[in-house]
Amino acid sequence: MQAAETARSANRPTADLTAYDLYLRAYAMVLSSVRQAPEALCLLEQAIASDPRYGPALAWAAICCLRLVFDGRSEDQVADSLKGIDFARRALEVAGDDPGTLANAAQVLAFFGEDIGAMMALVDRALSLNPNYARGWHISGTLRLWAGQPDIAIEHMEVALRLSPRARIGQSLAAIGRAHLLTRRFEAAEPKLLLAIQEDPSFPNPYFSLTACYAHMGRLDDAREILVRLRAVTSAVMPDVMHDIGHYRNPEHREFLLSGLRSAGGQTT
């Protein structure tokens, strides 16, 4: 159903079949593994060059830029951040009533520092246009988590998973695990984070969360073991607050995550 909905929503925004083909190829890889974000971005930039007003391509290109920065894989965080913001703003200019373009652009702009209340309102609009849009609920949960509302984040993520239990719509399990972590429900966080790692072993976020979770549980040996596994995934072994947790608006949540990582014996610089 997710694939059918994607094809439907992408059917109208461009008459350029070359751009449409590039978009579909990129979409197939952008959620399959975070390692494919650079290749997907390259395809999307080609699609945008072919049709500069192709909203879904602009929005997913913005998501790819977010992924590069968020996952610590960017070679130039400043340049990729500015590129992501530009793509997202251009996507909103042509979004119209397309829920996917609205929600994806809102997530990117929220990540890069736009007013999160305004971005949540954009996602709410997307969901009013299509209440069954699973990725929209996932993004809504993500923004609630960043805004310091972990319990609401879990509710919205669970809606996303009910609507789309099989298709990849984003890293919902990792977000649910981190939301449980931030509310000190460590026993609930651990299995979600383990499943998130199993779902996509190349995604750094759940490794960071699980390290902090084990540290706060007093399981320092387990925390250090996860750090070892993390080093095989990314060179950014300990996140700085600009790319992994800087978008969390609640300073207590940021410090809680960092304190767990410090306890595990990592570095924060």
Judged on CB neighbours under 10 Å (0-12, 13-18, 19+), 75 is exposed
In a domain, 124, yes or no: no
Mean pLDDT, all residues of the chain: 89
Domain-embedded: residue 185: yes
For residues 125-147, average pLDDT: 97
The domain tally of the chain equals 1
Q: What SS3 state is found at 157?
A: helix
266 is a domain residue: yes
User: Distance (Å, rounded) from C-alpha 59 to C-alpha 151?
Assistant: 27
Return the structure tokens found at 31.
Answer: 């959620």
Tell me the C-alpha distance between 150 and 129, whole Å. Answer: 25
Tokens of 49: 């060059």
Considering the domain boundaries, does residue 182 fall inside one?
A: yes
Reported for 88-93, long-range contacts at CB under 8 A and 24+ positions apart, including other chains, are 88/58, 88/59, 88/62, 88/112, 90/52, 90/58, 91/55, 91/56, 91/58, 91/59, 91/62, 92/122
* DSSP per position, 88-154: HHHHHHH-TT-HHHHHHHHHHHHHTTS-HHHHHHHHHHHHHH-TT-HHHHHHHHHHHHHTT-HHHHH
Q: Is residue 229 part of a domain?
A: yes
Say how many C-beta atoms besides its own lie within 10 A of residue 109's C-beta: 23
Instruction: Say what the pLDDT of residue 268 is.
Output: 47
Q: pLDDT tens, 202-253? A: 888 899 999 999 999 999 999 999 988 988 887 765 554 445 678 999 999 9
Does residue 180 lie within any of the structural domains?
yes
Residue 117 lies in a domain: no
Q: Which residues contact 121 (CB under 8 A, 6 or more apart)?
A: none
Better-scored residue on pLDDT, 15 or 41: 41
Position 191 pLDDT exceeds 50: yes
Q: Which amino acid is at 91?
A: A
Range of the domain at 187: 173-269
Q: What is the pLDDT of residue 241?
A: 40
Fill in the DSSP letter of residue 80: H
Amino acid residing at 30 = V
DSSP secondary structure of 164-181: -SSS--S-HHHHHHHHHH
Q: What is the pLDDT of residue 2?
A: 55
Counted residue by residue, the chain has a size of 269
113 falls within a domain:
no
The DSSP annotation for 219-248 comes to: -HHHHHHHHHHHHTT-S--S--TTTTSTT-
- What is the model's pTM? 0.89
For residue 24, the surrounding DSSP H or E stretch is helix 17-30
Higher-confidence residue of 3 and 215: namely 215
The CATH number for 241's domain is 1.25.40.10
Residues near 152 by Cβ (< 8 Å), separated by ≥ 6?
Answer: 141, 144
